[in-house]
Structure 1
Amino acid sequence: MSDSTTAQRSAGNIDRKAYLVGSGIASLAAAAYLVKEGGLPGPNITIFEQDEGYGGSLDARGNAQDGYSMRGGRMFEEKFNCTYDLLSFIPAISDPKKSAKDELMEFHQEFFWNDRARLVAEGRIVDVANLGFSERDRLDLVNLCATPEAALGTRTIQDWFQPDFFRSNFWFIWCTTFAFEPWHSAVEFKRYCLRFTHLFSTIDTMAGIYRTQFNQYDAMVRPIVGWLKERGVIFRPRTEVTDIDVAFDGAEKRATRIRYVAEGKEGDIGLGADDLIFVTNGSMTSDTTYGSSTTAPVLETEKHGGAWKLWQRLAAKSPDFGHPAAFCSDIEKSKWESITVTAHDSTFFDLLEAFSGSEAGKGGLVTIKDSNWLLTVVLNHQPHYYEQPKDTWVWWGYGLFPDKVGNFVQKKMSDCTGREILEEILLHLRFAEKLEHIRDTSIVIPAMMPYITSQFMPRTGTDRPQVIPAGSRNLAFIGQYAEVPDDVVFTVEYSVRSAQIAVFGLLGLAREVSPFYKGQHDPRILFDALKMLHRS
């Protein structure tokens, strides 16, 4: 697009208003592109957020005295083209003279992962040179990748593979890297296999994984929010959008009014002919509950999160708006539990660095293969919080099977206090001699997340709405529960790609969405992946 065309396009959007429901990375990215590419004035853009803070699932909170907490941490890789496009014009939190993308890339050059203890069992590092595939497993995997999504339908991973597949080293590595469980969608599993074919040859060392220098809230959300506020974008916290009126004229759909509740009072906003609305439908971290070192989190089974309730109301208006029930109706299969540990000395870091052979920030994930809870822990580069004191260390872990009884602590993980979960981890790693010291110098905050892998639930091709539904003139869906062909949910890249599709599409911009990398079409990538499949 020429400079003159861009100027004309921007001038045409001076009076246009845009509203975004939710403040997760998809909404923040959409707002940024509305300003940068669409030319909308910042004060014409409003972001509604039900909670006090911003960032959605990219959260991180707390302090050294009371304990830090974060529900999860996201991994990146070289081909996240949408994400890097966004970060390329956002100033870094560590140095505003460089971009957030530059900060991430420079950090990766020094702190790239070389995992030497990817799997652990009986207190010893497992040799993962052999991924444990049978010939049947190899054929099943190749056949899955070649089967059209429509033919797979709602089949699960365990519908496709033999039971022995789920005892292979490959499965333990793959499922804990991406948080897959056997009952999840075979379609999503296939998408991951294709999307990350180029990472297959380094699956054991995780050498292709990138991380931000700090947690993603500090490294991404704070800089983007700051950039938006500098340009006058309006943030409305503690405001829940409860419904959106939609007018239907034949196949055409137009959102006409936003209905919300703020500070207990109902309100509404009429949408003009040129106004736009972007909806984050559904939330993987909705209704999260927290425990403490001495209490267990209580599972929340009632939907209080506005993202789910709003989507349910919209879905009732048109089948083109998707079917949320496919994702949020079986909490037992979509939940798991994470912990954030704030340590006031370095004992645990020292022990795990010595055990794994890797310093913090370079070792990657450590999965305890013989854990009933299937525990995984990671030592991130310190400080992991931007203002974290030097005498404080923060690490993170999670369990995929929180309703199983522990190997050492004879309770379900979901019933355990933070200290009990920490004890289970320490005994698995054979750190018993230092157990009391580590326990007494640590604050452990568990987080129970009812919908954390709901986006992996078996689904049909119409359960997620298109980013811009058929006939929609001004309404788009963004985030993890909007349909982006080929790309993989549970990634920042997916959310940012949905934002690009929505903004560029509704504004009619000539700008192309950032290219989608398909390594499975590169013969060299395929050859390396096949070698890894047959490695023994």
Structure 2
Amino acid sequence: MLGEQTPHVADREAHVVGGGIAGLAAAAFLIRDGDMPGENVHVYEKLDVFGGAMDGAGNPDEGYVIRGGRMFNFPAYECTWDLFRTIPSLEDSSISVKEEINEFNEIHESYAQTRLVENGTRLDASQYELKMHHRISLVRLLLTPEERLGDTRVEEWFDDDFFETNFWYMWATIFAFQPWHSVAEVRRYIYRFLHVFPGLHTLEDIDRTRYDQYHSMILPLRRWLETRDVDFQQDRRVTDMDIVTSRAGRTVERLHYETGDGTESVAVEPTDLVFFTNGSMTDGSDLGAWDEAPETNETGASWELWRSIAEDNTGFGDPEVFAGNVQETKWESFTVTLHNTDLFDHIVEFTDEEPGNGLVTYVDSSWLLSTVVAAQPHFPNQPDDVKIFWGYALFTDQEGDYVEKKMSECTGREILEELCYHLQCVDRLPEILEDVDCVPCMMPFITAHFQPRTPGDRPQVVPDSSHNLAFIGQYAELRRDVVFTVEYSVRTAMTAVYDLLDLDEEIPPVSKHYRKPGVLADAVSASFD
């Protein structure tokens, strides 16, 4: 820290690189808890919209797009709800976003009837199919300290038949784990979400937002920041930082960025603050169309900036560990807009699932397809006679079971044809797909944070000897918490702000549900079903 000579917070500036949830949360904590004037907070985003992976856009005429979806769990999102308890709802400013989400979930309680489908038949997903050697491997994993796991992969820890159990199909598709991912991260997830272990097949412990997360969470947060005069700078791609090293430590002195008009830079005073979202799960994503497959990109702006500053700064992590193998970190989602609701109605009837209940996974799909039919409307501007649903698949380089192409090479129409095969309605393809749109989205780094890693591959939120730079988001290191959650991004933001401003406030601790006897007993009982 900068010690007694640090000026008053009103005389300092904050530069937030990346306008996703981590960056927006950092801006909010600077103002709410750090008393920094909003006009002193500058948020740089390379896109023309803020919100990062928590996106959602479109209209009934051109179709809707959601790159990814988020499921929440109230007991396990301590920092997220601490933030959104103070952000007013857009539709009713007398209540907070948190209260609005609470009210929605009291009305729309999740209880999935059809979690897994095979050959057109609902599986009894309450039977986790774990054998004794699987349970022993799970217990041994929980008892092994994380530092001893190193970069071990999930497939190196469990026997092959583990990946054919109902438990794995549900676990993998809820959280998007692959067999080659980090077993250390799986260990963290089990500890973090042990209390939901018995309800994996019903998703009854999952909470959702009223609309897509952009309109339900990001837009209210941005409006709150705008009313406090935060300086939002869109179409600003930060390409480099001048970082000066001295005996006293490392200090960011200048940011370089590209705009539509060329290259510019901004000076950073030693007492100013820089918050950088290093790496992005949706960086390099590409949208296809009804008659066009998306492209698979190999890099993105946040990764290139991280590489640039990590090259000459020990302790800033190793981005190549996460972004160096797109084949292991990509998967593809698709958003379907239906003016003709026959397919939507068929999914509801086929799965016996009312909209809003949960994730349906087709375990015999070579792509490992899953679909989510949210409570309708899912967008504020969505007419009653237009429906939408979302889906994704983990194995995008496998040939389809009906469409003889890799998913990564398929158009939106071909993806729906493959889904209809698993929904057993290909005999109705021409009529069921009329007046329907499907937008596929390839995300090359969507699970990069799950790649096997070792200590030091992710930088600390505030690295040793850093005077004014903090890392936030999915690729900064926090003890015990789990990535691929909104909570992780918000927690890193809170940690960074409290550290750099030396605030004497407590960060909500990660809940230790696994220490509750009832939680342990229920989890053990579920593992024997």
TM-score category by the smaller chain?
over 0.9
Q: Is the aligned partner of 1:69 residue 2:58?
A: no
Following TM superposition, by how much is the alpha carbon of 1:251 offset from its aligned partner in structure 2, in angstroms? 6.1
Structure 2 counterpart of 1:315, one-letter code: A
Q: Match for residue 164 of structure 1? A: 161
Q: Match for residue 110 of structure 2? A: 113
The 5 A counterparts of 1:365-380 are 365-380=359-374
State the Cα deviation string for residues 376-406 of structure 1 (Å, max 9, x = none): 0010011111111222111000010010011
Following TM superposition, by how much is the alpha carbon of 1:204 offset from its aligned partner in structure 2, in angstroms? 0.9
Could you tell me how far apart the structure 2 residues matched to 1:490 and 1:273 are? 33
Q: Match for residue 37 of structure 1? A: 33
Could you tell me how far apart the structure 2 residues matched to 1:103 and 1:511 are? 26
Gaps of 5+ in 2: 1-5
TM-score with structure 1 setting the length: 0.96
Q: Match for residue 495 of structure 1? A: 489
Structure 1 counterpart of 2:484, one-letter code: F
Q: Match for residue 251 of structure 2? A: 254
Q: Match for residue 238 of structure 2? A: 241
Number of corresponding residues? 523
Following TM superposition, by how much is the alpha carbon of 1:266 offset from its aligned partner in structure 2, in angstroms? 1.7
Could you tell me how far apart the structure 1 residues matched to 2:503 and 2:418 are? 54
Could you tell me how far apart the structure 2 residues matched to 1:183 and 1:424 are? 26
User: Is the 8 Å Cα contact of residues 482 and 498 (structure 1) preserved in structure 2?
Assistant: yes
Q: Name the SS for the 2:11 alignment partner.
A: coil
The 5 A counterparts of 1:138-153 are 138-153=135-150
Following TM superposition, by how much is the alpha carbon of 1:439 offset from its aligned partner in structure 2, in angstroms? 1.1
Could you tell me how far apart the structure 1 residues matched to 2:224 and 2:124 are? 46
User: Is the 8 Å Cα contact of residues 11 and 39 (structure 1) preserved in structure 2?
Assistant: no
Could you tell me how far apart the structure 1 residues matched to 2:215 and 2:319 are? 31
| 1:135 to 1:251, Cα distance in 2 relative to 1, 3 A | farther
Q: Is the aligned partner of 1:174 residue 2:171?
A: yes
Following TM superposition, by how much is the alpha carbon of 1:11 offset from its aligned partner in structure 2, in angstroms? 9.6
State the Cα deviation string for residues 25-84 of structure 1 (Å, max 9, x = none): 000000001111111111100000011111111111221111111111101002211111
Could you tell me how far apart the structure 2 residues matched to 1:430 and 1:152 are? 43
Q: Match for residue 194 of structure 2? A: 197
Q: Match for residue 262 of structure 2? A: 265
Q: Is the aligned partner of 1:103 residue 2:100?
A: yes
Structure 1 counterpart of 2:98, one-letter code: K
State the Cα deviation string for residues 302-328 of structure 1 (Å, max 9, x = none): x2x221111001111212110000000
Could you tell me how far apart the structure 2 residues matched to 1:156 and 1:245 are? 37
User: Is the 8 Å Cα contact of residues 338 and 344 (structure 2) preserved in structure 1?
Assistant: no
User: Is the 8 Å Cα contact of residues 322 and 465 (structure 1) preserved in structure 2?
Assistant: yes
User: Is the 8 Å Cα contact of residues 114 and 364 (structure 1) preserved in structure 2?
Assistant: yes
Q: Match for residue 459 of structure 1? A: 453
Could you tell me how far apart the structure 2 residues matched to 1:349 and 1:93 are? 29
Structure 1 counterpart of 2:130, one-letter code: F
Following TM superposition, by how much is the alpha carbon of 1:454 offset from its aligned partner in structure 2, in angstroms? 0.4
Q: Is the aligned partner of 1:477 residue 2:471?
A: yes
| 1:251 to 1:169, Cα distance in 2 relative to 1, 3 A | farther
Q: Is the aligned partner of 1:87 residue 2:84?
A: yes
Q: Is the aligned partner of 1:21 residue 2:24?
A: no
Q: Is the aligned partner of 1:225 residue 2:219?
A: no
Following TM superposition, by how much is the alpha carbon of 1:494 offset from its aligned partner in structure 2, in angstroms? 0.3
Q: Match for residue 3 of structure 2? A: none
Q: Which moved more, 1:386-395 or 1:41-50?
A: 386-395
Structure 1 counterpart of 2:54, one-letter code: L
Structure 2 counterpart of 1:296, one-letter code: A
Q: Name the SS for the 2:315 alignment partner.
A: helix
User: Is the 8 Å Cα contact of residues 153 and 179 (structure 2) preserved in structure 1?
Assistant: yes
Match of 2:523 among 518, 529, 534: 529
Q: Name the SS for the 2:489 alignment partner.
A: helix
Could you tell me how far apart the structure 2 residues matched to 1:457 and 1:309 are? 18
User: Is the 8 Å Cα contact of residues 279 and 475 (structure 2) preserved in structure 1?
Assistant: yes
Structure 1 counterpart of 2:250, one-letter code: K
Could you tell me how far apart the structure 2 residues matched to 1:275 and 1:105 are? 38
Q: Name the SS for the 2:521 alignment partner.
A: helix
Structure 1 counterpart of 2:219, one-letter code: R
Structure 2 counterpart of 1:505, one-letter code: D
Percent identity for Structure 1 against Structure 2: 44
Q: Is the aligned partner of 1:57 residue 2:53?
A: yes
The 5 A counterparts of 1:206-225 are 206-225=203-222
Q: Is the aligned partner of 1:130 residue 2:103?
A: no
User: Is the 8 Å Cα contact of residues 87 and 224 (structure 2) preserved in structure 1?
Assistant: yes
Match of 1:360 among 355, 358, 367: 355
Q: Is the aligned partner of 1:335 residue 2:310?
A: no
Could you tell me how far apart the structure 1 residues matched to 2:465 and 2:194 are? 35
Following TM superposition, by how much is the alpha carbon of 1:436 offset from its aligned partner in structure 2, in angstroms? 2.2
Following TM superposition, by how much is the alpha carbon of 1:134 offset from its aligned partner in structure 2, in angstroms? 1.1
User: Is the 8 Å Cα contact of residues 281 and 477 (structure 1) preserved in structure 2?
Assistant: yes
User: Is the 8 Å Cα contact of residues 88 and 100 (structure 1) preserved in structure 2?
Assistant: yes
Q: Match for residue 3 of structure 1? A: none
State the Cα deviation string for residues 343-378 of structure 1 (Å, max 9, x = none): 0133223222222222101x2000000000000001
Following TM superposition, by how much is the alpha carbon of 1:12 offset from its aligned partner in structure 2, in angstroms? 2.5
Following TM superposition, by how much is the alpha carbon of 1:264 offset from its aligned partner in structure 2, in angstroms? 3.6
Structure 1 counterpart of 2:111, one-letter code: N
| 1:480 to 1:107, Cα distance in 2 relative to 1, 3 A | same
User: Is the 8 Å Cα contact of residues 340 and 434 (structure 2) preserved in structure 1?
Assistant: no
State the Cα deviation string for residues 68-121 of structure 1 (Å, max 9, x = none): 111111010022111111111111123222111011111111112101110000
Could you tell me how far apart the structure 2 residues matched to 1:321 and 1:38 are? 25
Could you tell me how far apart the structure 1 residues matched to 2:310 and 2:109 are? 43
Q: Match for residue 403 of structure 1? A: 397
Q: Name the SS for the 1:58 alignment partner.
A: coil
User: Is the 8 Å Cα contact of residues 349 and 360 (structure 1) preserved in structure 2?
Assistant: no
Q: Name the SS for the 1:320 alignment partner.
A: coil
Q: Name the SS for the 2:10 alignment partner.
A: coil
Could you tell me how far apart the structure 2 residues matched to 1:378 and 1:106 are? 21
Could you tell me how far apart the structure 1 residues matched to 2:325 and 2:520 are? 36
Could you tell me how far apart the structure 2 residues matched to 1:514 and 1:320 are? 26
Could you tell me how far apart the structure 2 residues matched to 1:93 and 1:64 are? 21
Structure 1 counterpart of 2:393, one-letter code: G
Following TM superposition, by how much is the alpha carbon of 1:145 offset from its aligned partner in structure 2, in angstroms? 1.2
Structure 1 counterpart of 2:337, one-letter code: T
Q: Name the SS for the 1:212 alignment partner.
A: coil
Could you tell me how far apart the structure 2 residues matched to 1:380 and 1:168 are? 26
Q: Which moved more, 1:370-379 or 1:91-100?
A: 91-100
Q: Name the SS for the 1:241 alignment partner.
A: strand
Following TM superposition, by how much is the alpha carbon of 1:293 offset from its aligned partner in structure 2, in angstroms? 0.8
Q: Name the SS for the 2:525 alignment partner.
A: helix
Match of 1:428 among 416, 419, 422: 422
User: Is the 8 Å Cα contact of residues 38 and 228 (structure 2) preserved in structure 1?
Assistant: yes
Match of 2:410 among 397, 406, 416: 416
Could you tell me how far apart the structure 1 residues matched to 2:415 and 2:9 are? 53
